[in-house]
Amino acid sequence: MTGQQLLATDHFGPLHQVAVQIPLNLGGFLTDLTMQWEGKKLENGQIDPEHCRILFYLQLEQLNETIVDVQIQKRYVTLQVFNEQSEPKYLIAHLAPILKEKLGKLDYQLSSVTWRNIAESKTKKTQTPMMKGYEKPSMYQGVDVRV
């Protein structure tokens, strides 16, 4: 583990968070992969692999900005992909069974793979719960007083 990885880790409290950025070479296309893990901390200090969340932030050659949100609960894996492109249904239909098989070998079950179009969400003025967490807080007005 490097110093940067140690600084990107939250060591206090019952939850554990780690952020790591890794350079990638995807068939000649150079990009960075940013991963963010969060989950309950086990007694040995590691993140509980049965209850955690992993976020992948990628800039891909064809799909451009892509966020993959992996949520694991009781070894059931839910995968959401956020992107501005239209859903590549053929690609998902082809790759989901392979992912399900590989996860099964690790004693995990793929629950669902969902594609969320960010551009459609912006035009409909609806935001995903993940995006709401990154909103700028609005200004507060007034004071509530209880006597």
Residue 2 tokens read as 């490097």
Give me the DSSP letters along 42-104: PTTSSEEEEEEEEEEEEEETTTEEEEEEEEEETTEEEEEEEESSPP-HHHHHHHHHHHHHHHH
Q: Which residues contact 114 (CB under 8 A, 6 or more apart)?
A: 78, 79, 80, 81
Q: Residue 94 to residues 18, 34, 100: CA-CA distances in angstroms? A: 31, 25, 11
Dihedral angle over CA of 28, 6, 130, 30, nearest 10 = -10
Give all domains of the chain, ordered by start, each with its CATH number. 3-123 (3.30.750)
Q: Which residues contact 64 (CB under 8 A, 6 or more apart)?
A: 83, 84, 85
Rounded to two decimals, the pTM is: 0.71
Residue 111 tokens read as 């629950």
Rounded Cα gap, residues 101 and 88, in angstroms: 20
* Tokens 């206090």 belong to residue: 12
Sign of CA dihedral 22, 59, 61, 114: positive
- The tens-digit pLDDT sequence of the chain (147 residues) is 555 554 545 556 677 788 889 998 888 889 898 999 898 888 887 888 899 999 999 988 888 899 999 999 999 999 999 999 888 899 899 999 999 999 999 999 999 999 998 877 666 655 555 555 555 555 555 555 555
